[in-house]
Amino acid sequence: MEAGMIDPAVVARIRQLYYAEHWKVGTIASELKLHPTTVRDSLIDRPRSEPPPRPSPVDPYVGFIEEVLRKHPRLRATRIYEMVRLRGYVGSVRQLRRKVAPLRPLHSEPFLHLRTFRGEQAQVDWAHFGSVRLHRGKRKLSCFVMTLSYSRALYLEFFFDQTQESFLRGHVRAFAYFEGVARTLLYDNLKSAVLERLGTAAVHFHPRLLELCAHYHFQPRPCAVRKAAQKGRVERAIRYIRESFFAARRFTTLDDFNRQAWLWRDEVAHGRPWPDDSSRTVAEAFAEERGSLVPLPSHSFDTDQMISVRSRKTIYIRFDSNLYTIPPVAVGRPLTLVASDTRVRILDGTTELADHRRCFERTQRVEDEAHVQALLEEKRRAQGSVLSARLLGAAPQVEDLLQAAFERGESAAAQMRQLLELLDRYGAAEFKVAVSEALEHKTPRATSVSYLLERRRRAVKRPITLPVDLSRRPDLADFHVNPHPAETYDELTSTDDPEEH
């Protein structure tokens, strides 16, 4: 009796007794009441016979499909379906797909499905989400993403930049959310993480990232160059964020957008089935992994940006496209600017001179009213000695004009020089009227006063009386002439002798 003619259960029993229990052929034959030849035939490994392939409506087109795929290996099956349908194919697209898959040339690298231990690894990356138009200008919107490799729990936060400080803030807040740190963090070649590479082994990490590693006790590990698949879990998380959260999402402020993102994470992303066991959720796997993370240190890492600044002339310090005020007494001093994502502080040594709300608009002035008022008082005191002699004497309201011009960004010194020239050219009476009109018209500038004076002069056709230029005769600057009484000239004009005129 051949092995193929006996019950498969008997064949399995024969092989188990022979290979596992090491019975002899004769003993097995006696025990199972079989001929020894039958037992020997059952021990021979024979290839499994496969049924002949069933004919398919795709078969006549296999040669055409192979030729198309050689020229266009990435062409989709749906497009090939349209091409063969025009050539008489009557089967379904599903039948075609089953045939195209083994015919398609392989160009992608094969991968193993890797499983990590709880708390062993997290993957980190930045993702670009286009630009956002603010009140003035635009800001690039980026998302910091960290994914725990075991549970697929994720932390996401949107920023208006990808600076080193924002990169570190994303880490610190992710660790606080996870209530622990994975032992290894995987990065690609981000500038915030990797400064320089030499080959595949030698890597210079960013010194601030190394400080973060030392503080939280984790090891950074870079991906190989152009091997983004090595951090596929964070890449898939970013794609999931784009498709499930970001698409068609509206927001008013960045804080509002992040609140929406965190709500989506807790209710949707962590409520999805866990990829390694669909009977559990990501949140359940995360609860299991949380106890295996490295505990947090007693205090968090300082992520504020610190830069040395100095204002040479004005009370404004420029930072991130905006201007922030400092007290007038600090102008010209070397200072330190400390910026978080919510506040901008300016220090003189350890003394805090200014504390402003951080602005993410463009070309804005963020002012402390006390700093502006202190400068105005200082300018008033500096202007007092000059104005009291000439300008204030001619037009007391010129002080209001200068203050209003200064608040509109005009230079007080330049305004005073121009007003003094106008006073000398047109006289005190006309100057006073023009200053009053400029204030009434709400155009508090020397150019407006000049325009009003010239308009009044042309209206009455009065010539301009220019002051005498004594720049070439400085010896006459203090020359004093005593004017004669007007009656003296009247007497001269009343004489009868015309030759005495």
What is the arithmetic mean of pLDDT over 36-59? 77
Give the residue, 392 or 187, on which the prediction is more confident: 187
* Sign of the C-alpha dihedral computed for residues 194, 207, 218 and 257 taken in this order: negative
Q: What is the pLDDT of residues 434-463, one digit of tens each?
A: 989 999 988 989 999 999 988 888 887 666
Kindly report the average pLDDT of the chain as a whole number.
83
Residue 389 pLDDT: 62
Q: What is the 3-state secondary structure (H, E, C) of 73-141?
A: CCCCHHHHHHHHHCCCCCCCHHHHHHHHHHHCCCCCCCCCCCCCCCCCEEEEEEEEEEEEECCCCEEEE
Whether the per-residue pLDDT at 312 is higher than 70: the answer is yes
What is the arithmetic mean of pLDDT over 295-300? 92
DSSP 296: P
Among candidate residues 351, 348, 342, 286, the one with its CA nearest the CA of residue 147: 286
Instruction: State how far the alpha carbon of 113 is from the alpha carbons of 124, 147, 182, in Å.
Output: 19, 17, 20
CATH class of 121-290: alpha beta
How many helices (H) and strands (E) are present in the chain, helices listed first?
18, 16
CA atoms of 381 and 386, how far apart (whole Å): 10
What is the arithmetic mean of pLDDT over 451-477? 67
CA atoms of 55 and 289, how far apart (whole Å): 51
pLDDT category of residue 226 using cuts at 50, 70 and 90: low
Please state which of the ranges 116-125, 147-156, 199-208, 222-231 shows the lowest mean pLDDT: 222-231
What is the arithmetic mean of pLDDT over 138-156? 93
Among candidate residues 342, 356, 136, 190, the one with its CA nearest the CA of residue 258: 342
Ranges of each domain in the chain: 3-42, 59-103, 121-290, 305-367, 383-474
Residue 498 pLDDT: 46
Residue 499 pLDDT: 46
DSSP 321: T
| 87, amino acid identity | R
Whether the per-residue pLDDT at 178 is higher than 60: the answer is yes
H or E element at residue 315: none
What is the arithmetic mean of pLDDT over 227-254? 83
Give the residue, 455 or 390, on which the prediction is more confident: 455
Residue 201 pLDDT: 61
Whether the per-residue pLDDT at 479 is higher than 70: the answer is no
Residue 500 pLDDT: 44
Residue 363 pLDDT: 85
pLDDT category of residue 107 using cuts at 50, 70 and 90: low
Whether the per-residue pLDDT at 230 is higher than 50: the answer is yes
Beta pairing, strands 194-198 & 202-205: antiparallel
Whether the per-residue pLDDT at 2 is higher than 70: the answer is no
